[in-house]
Amino acid sequence: MASGLTGNCYLCGKEFGKTAVRNHLMKVHNNQTGGQKCCLLKIEGAYNKDYWLYIDVPVTSALSGVDAFLRKIWLECCGHMSAFFGPGHAQVSKNRKLDAFSVGDKLLHEYDFGSTIETLITVIGETTRKTQKESVRLLARNIPPVFSCCSCVESATVLCTECIFDSDNPFFCQKCGEAHEHVDMMLAVSNSPRMGVCGYEGELDIFTFNPQPSQKKRDHLNYPIEYSGEGQDFDLLFLFFYS
């Protein structure tokens, strides 16, 4: 049911398709009363478009902030190199400011020049948001795809990087994974186009959306959002004050 094709608006919690969320962000969350002028960016796996994000970034910010954010939410495993590319695969400096781009422009971000993950970035709008310190603000993200264990009915938590090449389903639940012959080759399931590559396990991804928080939390926060991982309180406050 939950599919990578639909996702959540991180500002109000509502669920949308990948295209509909753009209109929603432009109409409902475009703060017309002044603040920071931003580029609204759609970001998707170049070869797996079920993984997608929407972020806004001030036009005065540089691409380096986008690179840092992509590493955190999607990519970082062991400090590989990365770069941005424009038309004709010409490299674009990470110091380039967002105001150099117009609506419709596309950029390719590549992380790790060995087992490369290519990310497609499209400038889809000009928006205004309340001023905040952090350059990148996450606005929407796909709901994590659910994979089922290849040998039982449970949902998978790990995948085998040995079987990934010759099996239709290299996914395992915790229990079946521990009994599998390549137990040392397992990586955690993650909501990222880098899942299963190199040593990627999504440890830096603190941006998980929880559509079903406990009632207690919902009452307390009046807000259907919960983050996992460290920095949780900070990120919640961050959303509260700036959404």
Interface ranges with Zn ion (CB under 5 A): 9, 11-12, 77-78, 149, 152, 154, 160, 162-163, 173, 176, 182, 198
Which residue, 32 or 95, has its beta carbon nearer to Zn ion?
A: 32
Provide the token pair at 220: 């307390």
DSSP per-residue string spanning 83-126: EEE-GGG-EE-TT-BGGG--TT-EEEEEE-SSS-EEEEEEEEEE
To the nearest whole angstrom, how small is the minimum distance from the Cβ of residue 222 to Zn ion?
15
To the nearest whole angstrom, how small is the minimum distance from the Cβ of residue 96 to Zn ion?
26
Cα 79 to Cα 67, 76, 82, 111, 195, distances in angstroms:
12, 6, 9, 9, 16
Which residue, 116 or 228, has its beta carbon nearer to Zn ion?
A: 116
In 3D space, the residue among 239, 234, 208 whose CA is nearest the CA of residue 222 turns out to be: 239
To the nearest whole angstrom, how small is the minimum distance from the Cβ of residue 42 to Zn ion?
15
Which residue, 15 or 105, has its beta carbon nearer to Zn ion?
A: 15
Environment class of residue 66 by beta-carbon count within 10 Å: exposed (0-12), middle (13-18) or buried (19+)?
buried
To the nearest whole angstrom, how small is the minimum distance from the Cβ of residue 90 to Zn ion?
26
To the nearest whole angstrom, how small is the minimum distance from the Cβ of residue 156 to Zn ion?
8
Which residue, 146 or 152, has its beta carbon nearer to Zn ion?
A: 152
Which residue, 97 or 223, has its beta carbon nearer to Zn ion?
A: 223
- Range list of H helices, the chain: 20-28, 63-70, 174-179, 215-221, 232-242
